[in-house]
Each structure stands twice: as structure tokens, then as C-alpha cells.
Amino acid sequence: MKIRLSLPMTRIEGESRLIVTREKDRITNVIYNMATVRDFKGVIIGQHVKDLPKIVPRICGICPVAHRIGAIKAIETAFDIVTPPIAELLRELALLGEIIRSHTYSVFFSTLPDIMFLADQISRQDILGVDRIQPRVLPIASKLFNCADELITATAGNTNMAFNLIPGGILQNITITQQQELVQQLHAAISHIKWAKEYYSWLLSEIEGEIQKYTLPQPLFISCFDTDKNRFSGTDQVELISEDGAKKTFPCIRYPEILIEQDMLEAPTKIAYFESSNKSKHLLAGPHARLTTLQTRSTKGKKSHIGMPNLFYSGLLRLDEIEFAITNSIKLLETRWKTSDDISVALQPQTSSGASSVEAPRGTLLYRVDINNRGRIKDIDIRVPTELNAKAISLIVKKIMTICLDLGWTNEQTLERVKMAVRCFDPCVSCATQTDIRFREK
């Protein structure tokens, strides 16, 4: 029996679709895909390359800065542009602001209410219920939003368009007064995030048995986090790490060869082949992958056991990343920067191709762009983290549905758990459906 569910299981635009195959009392297959299509590829092709960074932030209103930086880096790679250090700094600061902003939404409005529901503190997924039980949560979220918005606005121009960041550099530098004000505001946010971490950890300890169900079968972690400089803006190398700690690193321009596309009922999903095992494996991008990259930094490819990721711990990792983003922003803002007038370099469009990788809040974001001799975009490919995670989402949903079936739970109880699992990935359907025209042709 095939059950097709179209559910508002993500909080964000679009609806995801789950196709569940059940044979007697067994769930044999689950496929997660995205039901809405937004044709950004169609909008972008033919546009001037300088316009690309203005268009792509509209792909996702939650992480527009990451998209803008992804596009800028791809253009700079295509034209062999070396970015001035001050521009790299401001880009990283803007990205750190976006990490705070997006993770605040994910943890405080998405995962935390789920945990409170599992801990029997609220009757259903409801942010108003959260406010009644713990009135500190929403004011803290509001302060973190404010802090993030100030950081992004000062460094990138504004939160949604990040227009200060351009191919070749930046339009204007941050002032010393802005730096000082931001440092003050960020310092004030540290105590809030520490409280949030304690509260979240306490809630997790209350439901420890329950959340064991949400442990993901061992994935292949994917990340481009720059472990040398501790930067989300990444390197031009993407790293894959398997369960035994073995690593494969490849230049991001090669990602179309490495990440094999698997057609999952009309929606493309990327899975990766890893040479050491020579078989396909589901990917996991995001906080767990970044942590694994950091943990295996010193092993240099030696084998070591990597634990299986538990989805509810993603929320705790996101809070860790918010704290990291705050303290790292303070560190960068307090550094005495070498200022100069050279904040950007000129762009001379020519026939070329470029690619980039950036760690967006949800995980690795990949761009590849082909440009013609008139500076117009010939082709573009964008791979967003939700798409990279789609296979892992299918697997965890299958696992949870199987457990719920064994426990004899009602459909309503089962679906509630399934929705929680999907939310733990922090999916943004609006960006995950941005380019695929084949979907529509079918």
C-alpha cells in the first residue's frame, strides 16, 4: 500500500511530500521530497553576472546572506579575483550574523516547542504555550534577532539583500563607532545564550529515552567549514567524512562529479559515492557535519569512530554555534584591522566558469556558474543543504514510522513525531525547490 502525504510539516514556504510504502505491518520505503517549484534558474539565465548577487538572496529569506556570498565567490573564482582581506572579514561577520539569526529561529521557534511537547510541558506545538511555561524564551529570541540584524546590517548593508557585499569586495567599510556598538551588544547576548543552552540541555535530559528514536543511521558528513581560520565562508574545498573518520576532500568545482544525483520520484536528491566504501551513502550537512569536521581536524584521515548523530542534539549544536558566532564576531570586531582604500577590485567579465562552497546555517551551499563573453549567465547550478539532507530525512522518517507502527501508535501520534524529525533538519523548502525544471517537465 502506498500512502502519499502532503503535509505542512515544515514551517517554511512550500510543502514537503512524503511517499510512504507500507507492506502489511512493515514500512518498506519512505521518500521525502519538495512539492513546490520555484524557477530561479529560469530567472537567472541570461542576466548579467553582476546582477546574480542581487537575485539569489531572494531564493531564501532565512539565509539570503549565504546565497549572496555563494554567488559572489563563484563569480570571483570564474574571474580569478583575489578579494581584499577587509571584504573577507566583513563577509564572515555577515555570515556569523546570519548563523545567529537563522539558528535562533530554528531552535526557539521550531525545536524547543517540540522538546517541550515531548516533555509534556505543552499540549501541542505552540509558541504561545512555550511563552506561558517559560516566559524568558521569546524575549531572548527577540534580543538575539535584534543582535543578528544589527551585525548583518553593519557589515552587509541590510539583512535581506546584503548589498554591501559585491563581487570583488565591498562597497563601504564598517566604522569604528559601529564596531564598538556591536561589540557591546554582542557581549550582552552571551548571558542569554548561556541560559538558553542550560535550559535546552535540561529539557533534553528529561526526555532522554524518547529522543533515542531520533538517531540517524550513520551518514556521510559534508562540510566546507574552514577549520584553519574557523570560518563559515569556507574554503574552496569540500570535505566528506565517513563513519570511520576517513576523509575525502575535493575542490568545490568538482561537486557535480562527486555528488551523484538520484531521482527520487520527481525530486532530485544528491547522494554521494565515497571511494573507500565504493557505495552510495546518504549525506548529512549542517551543525553535526561542521562539528565532525572540527573533531577530525587533527586525525588527518586516520580512522576513528564517529558517533551517530541524534537529531535533537542538532538544536544544542545550533545553540553552540550561536555562542561561537557571538564570541567570534566580538573577536573579529576587536581586532585592529589594517584599513585601506582598497576595499574592492574591478570586475572584467569574460567567458568563464566558477564554483563556490559556503557553510550556510543549514549546511553546505554549493554554486556553479557559467558566464559567456558578454558577461551574461549561460548556466547555473545551486545545491542547497536541504536537498543534500533529503535522503537522510527519508531515512529518519522511515525509522520513526517503523518504531511508531511497532508501538501501535495512532496516525496522529506518528505524524507528530515525523514532523518533529523533519523540523530538526531545519529544512527550508523555499530554497530547496529553486532550480529544477525537470520536475515540471515530468
Partner 1 sequence: MKKIGFFQLNSCSGCMFAVLSSTIFLDLLKSADIRLFRLISDVQTEDQFDVVFIEGGVTRNEEAALLRRLWTEGAKIITLGSCAVLGGIMSHSPNMHIDPVNKFVDPYATLPGCPPPQQLLGNLLMSAIDGIEFKLPEKNVCSECPFAQDQTYDVEITSLNALHPPKSCFLSEGILCLGPITRAGCGARCIKGATPCDGCLGALDRNLPSALANLFSVLKVSDSIREYAAIAFRYQKPELKFK
We find the least distance from the C-beta atom of residue 135 to partner 1, in angstroms, to be 10
We find the least distance from the C-beta atom of residue 165 to partner 1, in angstroms, to be 11
Q: Is 363 exposed, middle or buried (0-12, 13-18, 19+ CB in 10 A)?
A: buried
We find the least distance from the C-beta atom of residue 20 to partner 1, in angstroms, to be 18
| Residue in 134, 158, 215, 295 binding partner 1, rule: CB under 8 A | 158
Is residue 132 close enough to count as binding partner 1 by CB under 8 A? no
Is residue 121 close enough to count as binding partner 1 by CB under 8 A? no
| Residue in 17, 73, 91, 101 binding partner 1, rule: CB under 8 A | 101
- Tell me the per-residue interface mask from 39 to 58 with partner 1, x by CB under 8 A, - otherwise: xx-xx---xx-xx--xx--x
Q: Which three cell numbers stand for residue 368?
A: 556553479
Only segment of 89-97, 137-145, 252-260, 273-281 that touches partner 1 (CB under 8 A): 137-145
Only segment of 21-29, 74-82, 157-165, 233-241 that touches partner 1 (CB under 8 A): 157-165
Site for partner 1, residues 255 to 274, rule: CB under 8 A: none
Is residue 5 close enough to count as binding partner 1 by CB under 8 A? no
Is residue 367 close enough to count as binding partner 1 by CB under 8 A? no
Query: Which of 269/430 has CB closer to partner 1?
Result: 430
We find the least distance from the C-beta atom of residue 297 to partner 1, in angstroms, to be 33
Query: Which of 114/239 has CB closer to partner 1?
Result: 114
We find the least distance from the C-beta atom of residue 30 to partner 1, in angstroms, to be 19
Query: Which of 242/435 has CB closer to partner 1?
Result: 435
Q: Which of 401, 346, 403 has the alpha carbon at shortest distance from 375?
A: 346
Site for partner 1, residues 55 to 94, rule: CB under 8 A: 55, 58-62, 64
Only segment of 19-27, 126-134, 206-214, 296-304 that touches partner 1 (CB under 8 A): 126-134
Only segment of 120-128, 365-373, 378-386, 399-407 that touches partner 1 (CB under 8 A): 120-128
Is residue 136 close enough to count as binding partner 1 by CB under 8 A? no
Rg (CA), the chain: 21
| SS3 track for the chain | CEEEEEECCCCCCCCEEEEEEEECCEEEEEEEEECCCCCHHHHHCCCEHHHHHHHHHHHCCCCHHHHHHHHHHHHHHHCCCCCCHHHHHHHHHHHHHHHHHHHHHHHHHHHHHHHHHHCCCCCCCCHHHHHHHCCCHHHHHHHHHHHHHHHHHHHHCCCCCCCCEECCEECCCCCHHHHHHHHHHHHHHHHHHHHHHHHHHHHHHHCHHHHHHHECCCCEEEECCECCCCECCCCCEEEEECCCCCEEEEEHHHHHHHEEEEEECCEEEEEEEECCCCEEECEEECHHHHHHHHHCCCCCCCCCCCCCCEHHHHHHHHHHHHHHHHHHHHHHHHCCCCCCCCCECCCCCCCEEEEEEEEECCEEEEEEEEECCCCEEEEEEEECHHHHHHHHHHHHHHHHHHHHHHHCCCHHHHHHHHHHHHHHCCCCHHHHCCCCHHHHHC
Q: Which three cell numbers stand for residue 201?
A: 540541555
Cβ atoms of 249 and 308 within 8 Å: the answer is no
Is residue 440 close enough to count as binding partner 1 by CB under 8 A? yes
Is residue 197 close enough to count as binding partner 1 by CB under 8 A? no
We find the least distance from the C-beta atom of residue 426 to partner 1, in angstroms, to be 12
- Tell me the per-residue interface mask from 376 to 415 with partner 1, x by CB under 8 A, - otherwise: ----------------------------------------
Query: Which of 149/381 has CB closer to partner 1?
Result: 149
Size of interface with partner 1, in residues (CB under 8 A): 57
C-alpha to C-alpha distance for 384 and 386, rounded to whole angstroms: 6
What residue ranges bind partner 1 (CB under 8 A)? Answer: 8-13, 36-40, 42-43, 47-48, 50-51, 54-55, 58-62, 64, 101, 105, 109, 124-128, 131, 138-139, 142, 145-146, 149, 157-158, 160-161, 163-164, 166, 171-172, 344, 346, 419, 428, 430-431, 437, 440
